[in-house]
Amino acid sequence: MFERISSQQLMEDPEIQLKNFKKTKEYLVAIDTDGCIADNMNGKQMLVFHPMYMEFYQLWGIESYFREVAEYYNLFSVHRGCNRFTAISLILKSLNSRGDVKKMAEKTWTKIPSAMTVDHYLEFCKSEHCGFGTPSLERFLEKYPFDFDIHKLYGWSQQVNKALPYVNLKIQPFENVKQCLEIMSENADVIVVSQTPYDDLLRYWESHGIINYVRIICGQEMGSKSHHIEMVKNAGSYHDEKVLVIGDAYGDLKAAKQNNACFYPVIPGKENQSWVKFPEAFNSFLSLNYHQVENNMIEEFSKTLPDLPPWESPDYNHQQSYRQHQAIRKALYEKYNPDGKLVVL
């Protein structure tokens, strides 16, 4: 039975459901949402995160460069699925390090922000042992109430949260997800682990009628995915070979292996096929005969997430790089925001 936490609990003790978790099955499944349960990664990033940041910081003059770098870190690399603030740090550092971007910024009178403020916030969360998100960002803001750069970062994050449901809730779960959730919940305690805010996750799982397949939802306010899994695994004393993590990003694989758990990848670009194959793989997991299945799946998965940015390639061409994902951007804008700003090269 799903356990909800209140807004007050989320602010005062985000980890309360992790601490109080009660085991009901011998197996544990920890599953991501964005890009894993539904094909909403591209939409959220391309339609909300990236244009909202460009609007807040007036970066439209370097739009194609910003989108190229932001898409690499958020969608098309080993960094896929990282927290929004971690991504912003990576994006800003890359933009500030590139001569071609600086040249375009000068030409268009665009000021590229420093990563200093977001890095300060990330260090604050690390020192305070708290997760990234609204509660910790508000605490950070209280500590530096007259730092307007923090207010701006907070404003961007809050507006992203407000805009996301207009895109996110329209995107249906992948085919076969519901059937697979039924199979999982019959045999295991199922939890959601994500770097998306708790309220956004709750809205999505409720609106698509799949909330009762999971026990708890763990969002970015509760810490990292690895932390979510560790807390629940320890609370339920699950054996290593009886814990399965399902995800679409390298961070999900890392979180699984940090907890000595098994991993099942939902492969970007082959999500529906991944869910078709899942029941057979899950049976192997339940029979404790999963090792070879896992190795084969991870090998295929690893090929889809490069660790070298395109702009560091010796034959790099910005227009060609930007056009690589142009069809995805155009299709999303035509469907969800036909009047929105989008540069086409």
Domain assignment present for 343: no
Q: Do 45 and 35 fall within a single domain?
A: no
Domain assignment present for 329: no
Task: Please tell me the predicted confidence (pLDDT) of residue 144.
Answer: 95
CA–CA gap between residue 160 and residue 163 (Å, rounded): 5
Q: Do 49 and 93 fall within a single domain?
A: yes
Q: Do 151 and 185 fall within a single domain?
A: no
**Banded model confidence at residue 133, pLDDT cuts 50, 70, 90:** confident
Domain assignment present for 232: yes
pLDDT digit string (tens) for 191-250? 999 988 899 899 999 999 999 999 999 998 898 999 999 999 999 999 999 999 999 999
CA–CA gap between residue 149 and residue 138 (Å, rounded): 13
- Are 235 and 242 in contact by the 8 Å Cβ rule? The answer is no
Q: Do 70 and 185 fall within a single domain?
A: no
pLDDT digit string (tens) for 256-295? 999 999 999 999 889 999 999 999 999 999 999 999 999 9
Signed CA dihedral, 273, 276, 281, 282: sign only: positive
Q: Do 33 and 45 fall within a single domain?
A: no
Domain assignment present for 160: yes
Q: Do 197 and 180 fall within a single domain?
A: yes
Task: Please tell me the predicted confidence (pLDDT) of residue 164.
Answer: 86
Task: Please tell me the predicted confidence (pLDDT) of residue 36.
Answer: 94
Residues whose CB falls within 8 Å of the CB of residue 95, separated by 6 or more in sequence, listed in order: 62, 65, 66, 69, 101, 112
Domain assignment present for 53: yes
Q: Is the pLDDT of residue 316 over 90?
A: yes
Task: Please tell me the predicted confidence (pLDDT) of residue 131.
Answer: 80
Domain assignment present for 183: yes
* CATH assignment of the domain containing 33: 3.40.50.1000
Task: Please tell me the predicted confidence (pLDDT) of residue 150.
Answer: 95
Q: Can you tell me whether residue 109 is helix, strand or coil?
A: coil
Q: Which among 138, 168, 198 is the end of a domain?
A: 168
**Banded model confidence at residue 165, pLDDT cuts 50, 70, 90:** confident
Long-range contacts of 309-318 (CB under 8 A, 24+ apart): 309/69, 309/72, 309/77, 309/94, 310/68, 310/72, 311/68, 311/69, 311/94, 311/98, 311/100, 318/64, 318/65, 318/68, 318/100
Q: Is the pLDDT of residue 313 over 90?
A: yes
Question: DSSP readout, 272-296?
Answer: HHHHHHHHHHHHHHHTT--HHHHHH
At what angle are helices 116-128 and 148-168 packed, to 10 degrees? 80
**Which class for 334: exposed (0-12), middle (13-18), buried (19 or more C-beta within 10 A)?**
exposed
Q: Do 21 and 88 fall within a single domain?
A: no
- Are 294 and 262 in contact by the 8 Å Cβ rule? The answer is yes
Domain assignment present for 314: no
Q: Indicate the number of domains in the chain.
A: 2
At what angle are helices 84-97 and 116-128 packed, to 10 degrees? 140
CA–CA gap between residue 329 and residue 211 (Å, rounded): 30
Q: Which among 127, 145, 168 is the end of a domain?
A: 168
Q: Do 236 and 162 fall within a single domain?
A: no
Which stretches does DSSP call E strand in 19-131?
27-31
Q: CA Rg, the chain, in Å? A: 20
Domain assignment present for 105: yes
Signed CA dihedral, 168, 174, 175, 180: sign only: negative
Higher pLDDT pick, 210 / 40: 210
Q: Do 78 and 164 fall within a single domain?
A: yes
Q: Do 203 and 229 fall within a single domain?
A: yes
Task: Please tell me the predicted confidence (pLDDT) of residue 4.
Answer: 87
Percent of the chain with pLDDT over 90: 79
CA–CA gap between residue 9 and residue 57 (Å, rounded): 33
Q: Do 83 and 22 fall within a single domain?
A: no
Q: Do 179 and 293 fall within a single domain?
A: yes
Q: Which domain holds residue 221?
A: 7-39+173-302
Q: Which among 137, 168, 199 is the end of a domain?
A: 168
